[in-house]
Structures are given as structure tokens and as C-alpha cells.
């Protein structure tokens, strides 16, 4: 794999780079970051959007969360002009929303009980699912007020950056654990489109 990366780097320098599928390589030679989530190259997927500290000049204070669904990014505001930016998955068309609420509860490896509205659309879903690696809420969940919406992990990291949920904000399990450890119950969450 190193040889492929070196050849690709040489082609870039020589200006003769022909586009190759990202899934063919383990490392992006320009950034040095991994591109393969799975160790099996035949099932390779592009690495989800990386978490990073960024400048933040918005009005929200430290400890709050700002979500831009059209950008598909969540910002945990650190204060002092800084935030941590995470990639997210958002509600598909017709299930997107905006507003302000508070984190009312947090749970590790939460159980999932699909709401009645979801069961009406998808009667094939289980009525209840214990928390764990196969649970669609993933490793952590932060509940938003008394709404049906949550910020939660996902066992489908390939959906990060997509609009596929029923309105919840999805994150990779790694990112949702990082956010969960930072966020306090009562934190303000603002969602804009």
C-alpha cells in the first residue's frame, strides 16, 4: 500500500495524476489522513468528515451546540473564539427541522424505542431494541428537550454527511463519545438550515 501511495504522490508532483477511486488507497497522500474505514479494501469507504478545532465568531457561548444542517456540521462552542467542528448526518427531505432546545438527558449505549410516527411509516421496525453495537442510536445519545429528536451515534458511519435520518442528528460513534464527554445536561442546542 505504501508503494501505491508513493506512486500516487509522484504522479501528483509530475502533474500526470489520473483520478483514482479514493477507496483504492489507505492514506490520502496530500493530507496523510486515512481514507479507509474498513480494513477490507473490497469494502472500503471514505473516512467520515474529520473532527477539528476551528475559529468560531457566532453568538453562542461556551458549552453550547450550534448545528448547521445544510452544511452538515455540528459545532461545540469552546468559547474564546473557538469551537470543535464535527461532521453529521441530518434529516432527509421532509424530516429536517430547525429551532433551539436544551440537552435534557444523556445516555450511554441507549435503548431505542421507535416513536409511533416512525412505526406507522416502517411497521417492520422492532418495537424496542436494547443498546449495543447494532442499535441505531450508537454509543451515546443526547436528548433534546421533550422532542423526539436526539444527537446520537450511528452504526452506519457512511451516512455522515448525508440527509438520511428521520430528523435526528447522527455522528460517528467516535465523535459522539467525544461530544458526549464535553456536553452538560442543560446545554443550549440551536439548529439552523
- As annotated, the active-site residues are 152, 168
Given a contact cutoff of 8 angstroms between Cβ atoms, the answer to whether 73 and 81 are in contact is: no
Cβ contacts of residue 179 below 8 Å, gap of 6+?
Answer: 65, 74, 76, 84, 86, 140, 142, 151, 171
CA angle 111, 87, 184 (to 5 degrees): 55
Q: Tell me the pairing of strands 90-91 and 169-170.
A: unpaired
What is the distance between the alpha carbons of residues 71 and 161, in angstroms, rounded to a whole number? 9
What is the distance between the alpha carbons of residues 74 and 81, in angstroms, rounded to a whole number? 16
Residue among 181, 138, 157, 168 nearest 49 (CA): 157
Q: Where are the beta strands (DSSP E) in 110-178?
A: 140-144, 150-152, 163-165, 169-170
Amino acid at each position: 500500500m505504501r508503494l501505491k501511495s508513493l506512486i500516487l504522490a509522484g504522479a501528483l508532483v509530475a502533474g500526470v495524476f489520473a483520478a483514482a477511486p479514493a477507496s483504492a488507497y489507505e492514506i490520502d497522500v496530500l493530507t496523510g489522513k486515512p481514507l479507509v474505514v474498513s480494513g477490507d479494501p473490497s469494502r472500503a469507504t471514505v473516512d467520515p468528515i474529520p473532527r477539528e478545532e476551528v475559529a468560531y465568531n457566532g453568538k453562542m457561548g461556551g458549552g453550547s451546540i450550534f448545528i448547521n444542517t445544510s452544511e452538515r456540521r455540528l459545532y461545540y462552542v469552546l468559547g474564546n473564539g473557538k469551537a470543535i467542528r464535527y461532521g453529521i448526518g441530518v434529516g432527509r427531505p421532509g424530516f429536517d427541522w430547525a429551532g433551539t432546545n436544551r440537552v435534557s438527558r444523556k445516555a450511554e449505549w441507549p435503548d431505542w424505542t421507535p416513536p409511533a410516527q416512525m412505526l406507522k411509516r416502517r411497521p417492520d421496525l422492532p418495537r424496542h431494541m436494547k443498546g449495543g453495537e447494532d442499535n441505531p442510536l450508537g454509543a451515546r445519545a443526547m436528548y433534546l428537550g421533550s422532542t423526539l429528536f436526539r444527537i446520537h451515534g450511528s452504526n452506519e458511519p457512511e451516512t455522515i454527511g448525508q440527509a438520511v435520518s428521520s430528523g435526528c442528528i447522527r455522528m460517528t460513534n467516535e465523535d459522539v463519545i467525544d461530544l458526549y464527554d464535553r456536553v452538560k445536561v442543560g446545554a443550549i442546542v440551536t439548529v439552523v438550515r
